[in-house]
Structure 1
């Protein structure tokens, strides 16, 4: 399983330096929506990392898909935690609470 990162250039560059290969720069809401949709349909992606602020720029319908996604697991970084916590997403993805 791969990790994918979508966001502006400044956001994805750190992940590129850390060795994440699937990074996508999306500067406009339309490009962001298109890229997220494409990555959600990629069977090789297990974790998708997004900026919390970017969730406000995409259509509500796609926000609901992201909030309910089990595979890939969506992790938002920065600002206020959007949707479920990382713990809750891992629990849904794996099927057990790893913190217990």
Structure 2
């Protein structure tokens, strides 16, 4: 089973570590390597960090089946999150 990883600032990552996610990254330069490694099934990325990635990497992340990349911020669009969850688990949990 693939794991969940988190990419964000220390404060963002802390909540996930407290919830049991043990793989966290703080350097956005690791993003492409994380995609290439294939160790993680889901990659949660802090919204601001995601927006600052080069467009080619955001496009790659949006089309990635594995890992499923979930940008997460306070202003995250619920529809986008629903779509990503459906992509990750293969079922629509909102219906």
TM-score interval w.r.t. the shorter chain? 0.7 to 0.9
CA distance in 2: counterparts of 1:16 and 1:92, whole angstroms:
24
Structure 2 residue 1 is the aligned partner of structure 1 residue 18: no
Normalising by structure 2, we get a TM-score of: 0.81
Structure 2 residue 87 is the aligned partner of structure 1 residue 92: yes
Cα RMSD, aligned residues only: 1.9
Normalising by structure 1, we get a TM-score of: 0.77
Please identify runs of 4+ aligned residues in structure 1 that moved more than 6 A: none
Given candidates 37, 49, 54, the residue that maps to 1:59 is: 54
Shift of the alpha carbon at 1:86? 2.2
Contact 1:53 1:79 in 2 (8 A): no
List alignment gaps of at least 5 residues for structure 2. Answer: none
Shift of the alpha carbon at 1:4? 0.4
Residue pairs, 1:13-52, within 5 angstroms = 13-26=14-27, 32=28, 34-52=29-47
User: In the comparison of the two structures, how many residue pairs are matched?
Assistant: 93
Contact 2:42 2:88 in 1 (8 A): no
List alignment gaps of at least 5 residues for structure 1. Answer: 27-31
Shift of the alpha carbon at 1:68? 1.2
